[in-house]
Amino acid sequence: IFFFFKQKTAYEISACLVGSEMCIRDRYHYFTDAIHNAYFSVSRGDYNQISGFSIKLLRVAGDGRLWGITPNNEVVTIDGDLSEDWQIVSEQFIYLDVQPSGKVWGINTKNHVFYRDGVSGGWTLVDAPALFTQLDVNGKGEVWAVTPTFDIYYRNPSTEAWQLVDGKARQIRSLDNGVAFAIAPDGGIWKRASISASWTAFYPYIYEICAASGTLSRRRKNAKRLSLIHI
């Protein structure tokens, strides 16, 4: 199952609760599957594997450049028209996101936050109040991040100050209009119109993943019956 969020100017990004994800820019679709194969597609059903590296996380910048992380935690990049080979930019990163401007944000294996200006720039360490496992940055430069204990932080792009946000999340997404979506530890999905607003329930289901099979199931809160979702 995919959740599609309009964001980051010229493309959409979706995140799957079981690990696969899709990035869409213009008429091209780029996505990874659960076993870390990367693909591109011009039309639905026309899937072409991108050779060179296994990719467990994929992002698209505003200029179409692809950024990814391999299962070995290498940061790699390639031009969106695939006219070049993948380039290894750095190692020991577990997460990244890209602004439409091309500014790349990442979390290394020690859970520290960095950013860089495209391929040519080097990484700059960001002063942060906590260690993070996942982050998301929108076109305004607002950064949302979550910690290993599911705390949520927000970074103001004007003051560069971080603030602890109420609530808990294991994954968070932020749109260019400032709207944030959070997947709570219990699987519920919450929406926040802006940093100054409050969280509201966005999707009334709790998601559960079978550790053995990877099957994703859902149930309404306070309901006993589980209904299976095809993925």
Sign of CA dihedral 192, 218, 11, 55: positive
- pLDDT for residue 8: 42
* Torsion angle (degrees, nearest 10) of CA 112, 117, 87, 145: 30
What is this structure's pTM? 0.78
The Cα 54–Cα 39 span in angstroms is 10
DSSP 12-77: EEEEETTS-EEEEETTEEEEE-TT--EEEESSTT-EEEPPSS--SEEEE-TTS-EEEE-TT--EEE
Residue 192: its H or E element: strand 189-192
Question: pLDDT per position in the chain (231 positions), as tens?
Answer: 333 333 343 233 333 333 445 454 445 677 788 888 888 777 666 788 888 899 999 998 888 899 999 999 999 999 888 888 999 999 999 999 999 889 999 999 999 999 999 998 899 999 999 999 999 999 999 999 999 999 999 999 999 999 999 999 999 999 889 999 998 998 888 999 999 999 998 865 554 444 444 444 555 544 433 333 322
DSSP 120-176: TSPPEEPP-SS--SEEEE-TT--EEEE-TT-EEEEE-TTT--EEEEEEE-SEEEE-T
Residue 9: its H or E element: none
| Cβ proximity of 41 and 48 under 8 Å | yes
Residue 211: its H or E element: none
Structure tokens at 68: 């990814």
Short-list 222, 144, 152, 157, CA closest to 186:
222
Structure tokens at 115: 């950013």
| Cα 182–chain centre separation | 11
- pLDDT for residue 195: 96
